[in-house]
Amino acid sequence: MNYSVNRAMVIGSGVMGAGIAAHLANAGVPVYLIDIVPAELTPEEEGKGLTLENPGVRNRIVNQGLAFLQKSKPTGLFSKSKLDLITVGNTEDNFDWAQEADLIIEVVIENLAIKREVMATVDKLRKEKSIVATNT
């Protein structure tokens, strides 16, 4: 059987999720990296007059994961140019990106109820022949 992974999705942008996204990017695979939307503003965001609807706020968690990846020593990226292969988003606005992914990897918090919810959503959205995996 021939199977190509032309696009991947990683759900969860913590150390493991961001690292997995980096490895996929290193292999030349475009990857969507998504995480949850924050439940509240930081004091800095409040001071700037932002709301929970601001795109920067909505992607704060995933952007923090990506920033940590870039600062880690050694970094998980072979080169900074590989960063261009990672597109960030969140589970409320961008979960439908799963429809484009050939490989979907769940890397969320170790909470069975949350994992089941994520996998149920993935199952509703994914392509018929996509591969779904978990980091657990």
More confident residue, 88 or 80: 88
Could you tell me what percent of the chain has a pLDDT over 70? 99
Compute the average pLDDT of residues 34-60.
Answer: 96
Compute the average pLDDT of residues 96-118.
Answer: 97
Compute the average pLDDT of residues 64-77.
Answer: 90
pTM for this prediction: 0.94
Domains and CATH numbers, the chain: 8-134 (3.40.50.720)
Q: Residue 87: which pLDDT band, with cuts at 50, 70 and 90? A: very high
Q: Is the pLDDT of residue 1 over 80?
A: no
Q: How far apart are CA 33 and CA 105, in angstroms?
A: 10
Compute the average pLDDT of residues 15-24.
Answer: 96
pLDDT of residue 2: 83
* Sequential DSSP letters for the chain: -------EEEE--SHHHHHHHHHHHHTT--EEEEEPPPSS--HHHHHTT--TTSHHHHTHHHHHHHHHHHHSSS-S-SSGGGGGGEEEEETTTSGGGGGG-SEEEE---S-HHHHHHHHHHHHHHS-TT-EEEE--
